Amino acid sequence: MSEVKLEKVTFEFTQDENCNSTDMGGIELLTVECTSDLGISNTDGAFFVLKTEQWAINDINELKLLFDKIEQAINIVK
pLDDT in tens, the chain (78 residues): 678 888 889 999 999 887 766 665 788 999 999 988 888 887 777 889 999 998 989 899 999 999 999 988 887 765
Specify the DSSP element, H or E, that contains 29. Answer: strand 27-35
The reported pTM is 0.79
pLDDT of residue 13: 95
pLDDT of residue 5: 81
pLDDT of residue 15: 92
β 47-52/27-35 pair status = antiparallel
